[in-house]
Amino acid sequence: MPISPLSKPHALLQRLLVMALALLGIGVLLYGAMTLLGADSAPQPSGRHPFGTGITESGGASHGLLGLISDWQSLFSRQITATLKEITHNPQATVWLLVLSFVYGVVHAAGPGHGKAVIAAYILASERALQRGLIMAVAAALLQALVAILLVTILAVVLRVTSSSMTLMANHIERLSFFAVTAVGLALLWKKSGHFLALLPAQKNDTAHGVTPSHSHSHSHSHAHAGDDACCHNHAPMADDSASMRDMGMAVFAAGIRPCSGAILVLVFALSQKMLPLGIIAALVMAAGTALTTGGLATMAVLAKNMALKWGGGIDTPQSALLLRGIEILAAALVSLLGLTLLITAP
Amino acid sequence: MPWNCKKLCFLWLIMAALSGLITGVQAHPHVWVKAQSEVLFNSEGAVSGLRHHWQFDVAYSSYAVQGLPTDKQGHISSQTLAPLAEENTTSLVEFDYFSRVRIDGKAQAFGKPFDYTMSYENGFLTLHFTLPLKNPTKLNRSTVFELYDPTYFVAFTFVEGVKAVQVSGGPNGCLVNLTRPKTDIPAGQSLSENVFQSLSAQSGFNTQFTNRALIACP
């Protein structure tokens, strides 16, 4: 793509501006949505919670739909510990444990830290088929369970550390996940801003080749083909699959590396009752429930996107291409904002 | 795009929709504490502080004591627990010890806690500590003491009965009026229909998680 030497810094600024606007826009949207759903806006104290397990999951809702979900989650998580105890003298309770763990995984995924945003946004923003999204949801949930299992097994069983060491370790892993989420979000946002900008000159005049620097690898390849009729068959498969596998892997890593606090507590408790294998199974079943919710959300996201496109007048119009890129940019901005917020507010 | 399993997708969507926002910021309590407190009066008849006894739930108790040496019966000595007690108590400062005291309507500040110990009995870990007021204050009308975690990571509940909050060293005839949070899920509840009963009773849309003690003395 021919790029004039003078336009390069200008293009960079344009791109950064688009990114900033997207972040601002999604921030405003999120705030409105949260207020409607009953999220508490009371200021939260900073610093690590003294009775935490290193994973920050705080902010109970006091009213609204989220308050209801909160109550249910509490109920299920306490039942899980009670059931583990019951199994010592009533092995049939194992079935109930599995049911509880599954439902807990489903409902608990509503809380922070279960990779919903990253995976849903990634799928939304990257034209991957829905199947990929579902695979990613399962992989991320599985990774979460594995991290919790490994954390407890290595630290508690092998190294026999105290709770403060485990809390510290979990905290480090959590911080790593926040970096990963931010990195995935910003990389996606960067890419998508480029796509968005590439479309704009095509709307105004006939030269479809925008002044965006060809930063994205495979995307720019498919763009060059579709550029002239400015429709960009965006559902074309990636030209370069290895890069996309790496991207998917990063997204799964970002979504899944942060273990769930509830799973850690259940695992440690199971260990204390000399039932660690059962605890491990419970954690995996929880992951199944989480995968269901996250996958469901990814499905919703893709369906919403397709619906929006249909309303926009079908896939093959310039407007829909713009709309598509707009949605994708907002999705990427969402993940970026999420990651940044987590990084900034993490104790 | 697997449109062929429409019904499955629909059910899936319902479940996903039920789990709320993409960036759902709400979580639920992970730690449950049964609390018992004393309101301390000094020799001049002024409120001088609080003495807390916080019993943690069995899951958190297991988490907290992992890696600590136990004797043959599974007991852990208070000396072994001492560092944990100190760590936990001193880290409470950023959360204002989850306590609020208002004397005659005026909010009181706390000093540094002391006399902190932990005990481990039957799988339950209990933290005991004294929380002094920065300035001991006499009360004319009433003292309000509130115990709660604003982040709702910990669900505090006063223990059952009137002895949950007691007056220590104060004048005779003090009256204590207790309010507990509405969402009180009993600990260690075993499998029974109570689960389903509590499910329906629990679904209150308004969750109040503040424990409040109103103390009036002659």
- Contact in structure between B26 and A300 (CB atoms under 8 Å): no
3-state helix/strand/coil string of B12-30: HHHHHHHCCCCCCCCECCC
Give the B window 160-189 contacts with A, CB below 8 Å: 183, 185, 187-189
- Tell me the C-alpha distance between B215 and A66, whole Å: 34
The answer, yes or no, to whether residue A127 has pLDDT greater than 70, is no
Using CB atoms, which residue from B18, B87, B189 is nearest to A82?
Answer: B189
Is the Cβ of B150 closer than 8 Å to some Cβ of chain A?
Answer: yes
What residues contact residue A58 under an 8 Å CB cut-off, 6+ apart?
A44, A49, B27, B151, B152, B153
Interfacial B residues in 42-101 facing A (CB < 8 Å): 56-60, 62-68, 84, 87-88, 91-92, 94-96
Among the partner-chain residues B26, B63, B68, the one whose CB lies closest to the CB of A111 is: B26
pLDDT digits (tens, 9 = 90+) for A257-282: 988 888 999 999 999 989 999 999 99
ipTM above 0.85, yes or no: no
Q: CB A112 to CB B24 under 8 A?
A: yes
Which one-letter amino acid corresponds to residue A276? L
Residue whose pair of structure tokens reads 């309101």 in the numeric block? B39
Is B154 strand, coil or helix?
Answer: strand
Task: Check pLDDT > 90 for residue A240.
Answer: no
Amino acid A233 reads: H
Residue A304 pLDDT more than 70?
yes
CB contact under 8 A, B26 and A70: yes
Q: Average pLDDT of B42-55?
A: 93
pLDDT interval class at B107 (50, 70, 90): very high
CB count in 10 Å sphere of residue A154: 13
For the cut 70, the answer to whether the pLDDT of residue A347 exceeds it is no
Provide the β-strand partners of residue B144: B102, B214
Q: Are A18 and A215 in contact (CB under 8 A)?
A: no
Mean pLDDT of B165-173: 88
Considering just the CA atoms, what is the radius of gyration of chain B in Å?
A: 21
Q: Could you report the per-residue pLDDT of A171-206, keeping only the tens digit for each?
A: 999 889 889 989 988 988 888 888 888 877 654 443
Given an 8 Å threshold on Cβ–Cβ distance, is A116 in contact with B24?
yes
Per the DSSP assignment, residues forming a β-bridge with B168 are: B40
Identity of the amino acid at A297: L
Name the residue with higher pLDDT: B156 or A4: B156
Cβ distance A87 to A112 under 8 Å?
Answer: no
- For the cut 50, the answer to whether the pLDDT of residue A207 exceeds it is no
pLDDT in tens, A13-69: 888 888 898 888 888 887 787 777 655 555 556 667 888 888 876 544 445 555 666
Q: Is any Cβ of chain A less than 8 angstroms from the Cβ of B151?
A: yes
Angstrom CA distances, B215 to A62, A104, B126, B137, B167, stand at 26, 40, 25, 14, 8
- Cβ atoms of B98 and B156 within 8 Å: the answer is yes
What's residue A78's pLDDT? 84
pLDDT of residue B194: 43
